[in-house]
Amino acid sequence: MYEVFQQYIDSKIMLTPDEAHYIRSLAVIKKLRKKQYLLQDGDVWKYDAFITRGCVRTYSVDEKGNEHVISFSIENWWTGDRESLLSGEPSRFNIDAIEDTELVLFTHPNFELICRQIPAFNNMVNAILQKSFVTAQNRIQAALSYTAEEKYINFVKKYPGFAMRIPQSMIASYLGMTPETLSRIRTQTARK
């Protein structure tokens, strides 16, 4: 499944065969069964991870035991806990597989090596980060501005594929509402 990652890179930047080979030599393939953890809170996250197949969620668990979904990531996206990566502190998040999933992993030191040696790769990474930041900011705005119904409609419009493959209760959590509320919203919305 490395080919998926290769194609992703090729769609973004031009590499010499040597460079492409160098990147591949540092990549580690990882497979996750559905429900398997990629990261558990308390552990330190040390990778840069790209999903080639499947779907993963990042979430926190509060004192009452409620799970709060911070993000979903699917094939052709990156995942991980940047906070733990940067700080070296134990993560407050969990990441687990919603479907059987395959990833391409780089240890962070290796990833930084690649960034330093291949400027185009570094630029690509930075562009992704900018996009991630914009996405996060838009999510904040949606959380502040929208009603529960608007949040759901906005979500489906923005990520049409997600609504199909991700359990409703997780989408509800991502949107900051209970599964019951989302269920009611869906029947109401469908009726219209």
Q: Is 119 helix (H, G, I), strand (E, B) or coil?
A: helix
Write down the least CB distance from residue 10 to DNA, Å: 34
Minimum gap (Å) between residue 102 Cβ and DNA? 18
- Sheet (strand 47-53) strand order: 28-32, 101-107, 47-53, 78-79
Query: 98: which 2 tokens?
Result: 């919603």
- How many residues touch a copy of itself under the rule CB under 8 A: the total is 29
Please tell me whether residue 189 binds DNA under the rule CB under 7 A.
no
- Rounded to 5 degrees, what are φ and ψ at 131? -65, -40
SS3 letters across 57-79: EEEEECCCCCEEEEEEEECCCEE
Site string for a copy of itself, 116-155 (x = CB under 8 A): ----------x--xxxxxx-xxxxxx-xxx----------
Interior CA angle at 172 toward 168 and 178, to 5°? 115
- Does residue 44 interact with a copy of itself by CB under 8 A? no
* Residues paired with 28 in a beta bridge: 105
Q: Of DNA, a copy of itself, none, which one does residue 126 interact with (CB within 5 to 8 Å by kind)?
A: a copy of itself
Contacts of DNA in 129-168 (CB under 7 A): 147-149, 167-168
Binding flag, residue 178, DNA (CB under 7 A): yes
133 binds, among a copy of itself, DNA, none (CB under 5 to 8 A by kind): a copy of itself
Q: Which residues are at the interface with DNA (CB under 7 A)?
A: 34, 147-149, 167-169, 176-184, 186-187
